[in-house]
């Protein structure tokens, strides 16, 4: 199953494994896109759907560090947490948990591919605990949050905020 919305992210479900893959190109260097994923102030400015107010409670962006943020949207709050397992020069490996379903922990790998000419392709992969969990994510409308968030990130990158 593939969800594509115009020139935005491509979201693909693996047929044989409970994995969601997201691919998205940015007009910025890998270092800039990676910084936007690791710097707590930048991350809070772009993550999530339009209208989201993000509060970072914990942010220790290092191997073995943890993170937690709360996203406020339409009067509701949603908590997310995880651990940074590895931060390399072009990769972030972390866990991701929505606190509404604390038993469902995914393992995420974000790889930042240098396309040259100041462009980057982000390859994000989330290994979910089951096919049912994966399909629930896909039915949740996650593409709106992914695409809205990355559109906000595009604007930050264009403004040079992540330089």
Contacts of 7 (CB under 8 A, 6+ apart): none
pLDDT at 2 > cutoff 90: no
DSSP H/E element including 26: strand 19-26
pLDDT-derived band at 150 (thresholds 50, 70, 90) equals: very high
Task: Give the tokens for residue 93.
Answer: 């490996």
What does the DSSP assignment read for 78-122?
Answer: EEEEEEEEEE-SSEEEEEEEETTSTT-EEEEEEEEEEEETTEEEE
Q: What is residue 43's predicted lDDT score, i.e. its pLDDT?
A: 97
Evaluated on CA atoms 101, 47, 69, 32, the torsion sign reads positive
Q: What is residue 7's predicted lDDT score, i.e. its pLDDT?
A: 60
Comparing 65 with 2, which gets the higher pLDDT? Answer: 65
Evaluated on CA atoms 19, 14, 140, 119, the torsion sign reads positive
Q: Identify the burial level of 43 via C-beta atoms within 10 angstroms of its C-beta, where 0-12 means exposed, 13-18 middle and 19 or more buried.
A: buried
Query: What residue has token string 């990769």?
Result: 91
Q: Which domains does the chain have, with CATH numbers?
A: 2-158 (3.30.530.20)
pLDDT in tens, 76-114: 999 999 999 999 999 999 999 999 888 889 999 999 999
SS3 18: coil
SS3 147: helix
């Amino acid at each position: 199953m593939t969800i594509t919305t115009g020139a935005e992210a491509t979201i693909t479900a693996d047929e044989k494994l409970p994995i969601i893959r997201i691919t998205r190109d940015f007009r910025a260097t890998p270092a800039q896109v990676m910084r936007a994923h690791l710097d707590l102030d930048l991350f809070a400015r772009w993550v999530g759907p339009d209208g989201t107010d993000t509060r970072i409670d914990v942010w220790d962006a290092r191997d073995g560090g943890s993170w937690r943020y709360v996203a406020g949207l339409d009067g509701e709050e949603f908590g997310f947490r995880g651990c940074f397992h590895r931060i390399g020069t072009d990769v972030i490996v972390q866990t991701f948990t929505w606190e509404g379903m604390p038993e469902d922990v995914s393992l995420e790998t974000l790889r930042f591919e240098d396309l040259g000419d100041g462009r980057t392709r982000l390859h994000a992969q989330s290994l979910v605990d089951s096919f049912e969990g994966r399909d629930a994510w896909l039915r949740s409308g996650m593409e709106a949050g992914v695409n809205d968030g990355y559109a906000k990130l595009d604007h930050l990158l264009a403004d040079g905020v992540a330089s």
